[in-house]
Structure 1
Amino acid sequence: MQNVDTLIVAAQVLPIEPEGVVLTDHAVAISGGKIVALAPAAQALATYSAKSVVRLDRHVLMPGLVNLHCHAAMTLMRGLADDLPLMAWLQDRVWPVEGKHVGDDFVHDGSLIAAAEMLRGGITCVNDMYFFPGATARAMLRAGMRATLGIIAIEFPSAYAADAAGYLAKGLATREAYLGESTLSFCLAPHAPYTVGDETLRKIATLAEELDVPIHMHVHETRDEIAQEVERHKVRPLWRLRGLGLVSPRLIAVHAVHLDDSELDLLAREGASVAHCPASNLKLASGIAPVAAMLARGINVGVGTDGAASNNRLDLFSEMRLASLLAKGASGEARVLDAHATLRMATLGGARALGLDNAIGSLLPGKWADLTAVELSSLETLPCFDAASHIAYVAGREHVSHVWVGGEARVTEGELIGIDVATLKEKALWWKQRIVQA
């Protein structure tokens, strides 16, 4: 028999690849943090001798979810600025609080709280954009969560850096410091066309090629920002980005709510990806992204939560369901974004956008064992005729029972491993008091 570290036997498995497949009574063999095999349970038990055998008799096992857009540290501002449009939300509430409080400790504590929330909700990888990415890196390593960290660029000063050149220099130094960490990767993260100048964007396009990393950027989130950009630059933002060399397979266009046909064709032609954040888009009254039109053109789409300050949940189960229903309602076509396609968006779609689809996003041998198990035995999940349908439309993050990242257990029977929840609660309340008293 072949020795492995862990054998997980599940009632049903959603491998994502091949597409549309649901496997019954299968097992995943794990060794060295990676998937060795996916096989029928009887065959796997006869072939592999495991140090640990985990039996999930009432569960669906699937790849860990990939949160394609988040500002993790903003968990400490959850509910601080509700029921406002984007620019009022930013200028009147968020930016003033950030100016007073954001620093290394704020980002570390907020990111660790966010990581705990995401892991308990089956999210194993997050694509983050915020100040002090080194603090986020430490939090994610402490939580044992996979993360792609943004090397942020913006033209105005903050406690982190004085100008765009400073942001890039510090972010690149952070990347250099963490290059050896297998659970961390980096991307370039210019905030948005309206906050980043041409010179900086040209430099980012060049750096992305040199470093072979994605570009993570808010694009076409609201009609007002597009109108302002047209007035300033005489061209819509996405075409400005194209002229500066940023529209390519590296681009992760976050939100992408307001796109005309020519812009959809541009994203498809250039192989760019979209981070779809349906709840944030609705809550800020930004609009509904044309996801059906994106998928019809073959654009790669992943799912993001955005930050807890604008959503207010870091919950990809609710985002999946909302994304599917919005796509159906907006297009008038019930077949658009079916359950399997929705799950693919929230796993392999996000991984592909990050350039990590050879490492995560599906249950194939050789990939990291980033896994989520969902228990479907409670009354509200019974009966279950189709596991994919239940994950997309029925189950919630409260049904997540187990999570592994790189083969290491991070959640077992719904409980976080290695994270003291009581301490995190104290941190959250301490920061609330500090923000209120400022």
Structure 2
Amino acid sequence: MQVDLIIEARWIIPVEPESVIHENHSLIVNDGKIIDLLPQHTARHQYQAHTLRELHNHALIPGLINCHTHASMTLLRGIADDLPLMEWLQKHIWPLEQKWVGEAFVRDGTDLAIAEMIRGGTTCFNDMYFFPEITAHQAIKHGIRAGIGLIAIDFPSAWAEDSDAYLEKGLALHERLRHEPLITTPFAPHAPYTISDEPLSKIRMLADELDLPVHMHVHETRHEVDEQRQKTGQTPLQRLDELGLLSPAFIAVHMTQLSDAEIDDYARTGGHIVHCPESNLKLASGFCPVAQCLNAGINVALGTDGAASNNDLDMLAEMRSAALLGKGVSGDASAVPAMTALQMATLNGAKALGIDQQTGSLTIGKAADVVAIEFSEVETQPLYHPLSQIVYSASRNQVTDVWVGGRQLLKQRQLTTINLSDLHERIGIWRERLYADDNK
């Protein structure tokens, strides 16, 4: 049988079934989908490919899913480090955004983020930022899968003047994008402290009507929880529950401040959590009790947050941090093992976004979103267990090849859809503008 692509690899880690690792197998791809996974010697007899990729020092894993980003904020990477969250936001990030955020800022920042993510093995990102139509356009242009958040806040920005305008523009964008195969459009109300009850109630109604997820920062810091309790007599989670938002379609980002009762209550709603360990560490926001949440049955995915507070979009590093923090916070060295960390970065993210029938594992019938990681470097030798090596030893520089829907976006460490020389030039211009403004 003639097919588009055969990828031969030393190891294939499909994620589904859990803990299975295939040795010396081939992944068969046709029309952008995985149609078979079988031993190499059998594959060579059954299939002939237009393209054969032989990766005999590599492991194949599903494409990594970065479940929480502010992609274009990559332009603000490192501009105001080592500050508390609110000082960082109020004195540096928000003033720069107020002056500079527009279509060009979002276009160039998103291109920078996409280039970094592809080179690190990310094949899907879930974004929350202004001018989402620009983010969507760039994602489609460069061939990466994306959740384009329909952002909503009470306050005016360069994109919309009030919550009604955010929702109106978001719904129009959803209508334009709903047939794009690489794009989904979750609602993205920013946080409980930036959006009031009336627009949140509208979002709940619209999300139910359109069958869309809702993606929101929740319980990110102790200050947020205490302030909301003082103002309303409720925690943010209690308020969101009262408004009917907590459901299997709800994606709560950060969740560093959780009591045992809140974990159990949230598990009963069927909602998801996106854990952003490195951003939470850098901003001293607290620790999501990941092992306890997983044990309660909550689906926990991984995100980097924006590069302005991380300072990278490295999902391999995020997996390692999640696994190590999970052990440290729980006091249990067996908590968040390597396979769980990989699931959080792949299939769990797909489940949170409602796209687990399309991606998240190397399963027959799903899109060929595939990442190849080379193990011949001394940093990953000797190699006893490839899965452990990916989570605890490998770096993103060992990602050699990336496919999304069977289209190769990274080939032997070279991007195929982004011109790096042009990108460097554009980013250099932004660096001069932003640095000058922040240092007035």
TM-score by length of 1: 0.99
Letter of the 1:52 counterpart? T
In 2, distance between residues paired with 1:61 and 1:409?
14
SS of residue in 1 equivalent to 2:185: strand
SS of residue in 2 equivalent to 1:217: strand
Give the number of aligned pairs.
437
Deviations 1:85-134 (A, max 9, x none): 11111111111111000001110110011000000000000000000000
Q: How far 1:318 moved relative to its partner?
A: 0.7
SS of residue in 2 equivalent to 1:195: coil
Q: How far 1:234 moved relative to its partner?
A: 0.8
Contact conserved, 2:107 with 2:134, CA < 8 A, in 1?
yes
Aligned-pair identity (%): 51
Letter of the 1:210 counterpart? E
Given the alignment of the two structures, is residue 162 of structure 1 paired with residue 172 of structure 2, yes or no?
Answer: no
Letter of the 1:310 counterpart? S
In 1, distance between residues paired with 2:266 and 2:31?
38
The residue that corresponds to 1:23 in the other structure is 22
Contact conserved, 1:74 with 1:309, CA < 8 A, in 2?
yes
- Structure 2, unpaired ranges of 5+: none
In 2, distance between residues paired with 1:207 and 1:38?
40
In 2, distance between residues paired with 1:430 and 1:325?
38
In 2, distance between residues paired with 1:248 and 1:51?
45
SS of residue in 1 equivalent to 2:6: strand
The residue that corresponds to 2:404 in the other structure is 405
Aligned 1:24-423 pairs, distance under 5 A:
24-423=23-422
In 2, distance between residues paired with 1:250 and 1:418?
33
In 2, distance between residues paired with 1:373 and 1:340?
17
In 2, distance between residues paired with 1:283 and 1:162?
32
Contact conserved, 1:109 with 1:139, CA < 8 A, in 2?
no
Contact conserved, 1:69 with 1:306, CA < 8 A, in 2?
yes
SS of residue in 2 equivalent to 1:193: coil
Deviations 1:369-412 (A, max 9, x none): 00000000011111110011011101010100000000000001
SS of residue in 2 equivalent to 1:367: coil
Letter of the 2:427 counterpart? A
Contact conserved, 1:20 with 1:340, CA < 8 A, in 2?
yes
In 2, distance between residues paired with 1:322 and 1:38?
31
Deviations 1:219-254 (A, max 9, x none): 000000111101111100001000001100011100
Letter of the 2:236 counterpart? P
Contact conserved, 2:79 with 2:435, CA < 8 A, in 1?
no
In 2, distance between residues paired with 1:396 and 1:276?
20
SS of residue in 2 equivalent to 1:30: strand
In 2, distance between residues paired with 1:436 and 1:13?
44
In 1, distance between residues paired with 2:80 and 2:162?
26
- Structure 1, unpaired ranges of 5+: none
In 1, distance between residues paired with 2:95 and 2:139?
26
Contact conserved, 1:402 with 1:414, CA < 8 A, in 2?
yes
Contact conserved, 1:27 with 1:41, CA < 8 A, in 2?
yes
Q: How far 1:3 moved relative to its partner?
A: 1.8
In 2, distance between residues paired with 1:19 and 1:295?
15
Letter of the 2:212 counterpart? V
In 1, distance between residues paired with 2:364 and 2:434?
47
Contact conserved, 1:401 with 1:411, CA < 8 A, in 2?
yes
Contact conserved, 2:68 with 2:126, CA < 8 A, in 1?
yes
SS of residue in 2 equivalent to 1:80: coil
Q: How far 1:427 moved relative to its partner?
A: 1.0
SS of residue in 1 equivalent to 2:186: strand
In 1, distance between residues paired with 2:122 and 2:435?
30
In 2, distance between residues paired with 1:239 and 1:113?
38
The residue that corresponds to 2:3 in the other structure is 4
Q: How far 1:418 moved relative to its partner?
A: 2.1
In 2, distance between residues paired with 1:31 and 1:217?
36
Q: How far 1:39 moved relative to its partner?
A: 0.9
Contact conserved, 2:153 with 2:190, CA < 8 A, in 1?
yes
Contact conserved, 1:187 with 1:213, CA < 8 A, in 2?
yes
TM-score by length of 2: 0.98
Contact conserved, 2:4 with 2:29, CA < 8 A, in 1?
yes
RMSD: 0.8
In 2, distance between residues paired with 1:383 and 1:54?
24
Contact conserved, 2:277 with 2:287, CA < 8 A, in 1?
yes
Q: How far 1:293 moved relative to its partner?
A: 0.6
Letter of the 2:261 counterpart? S
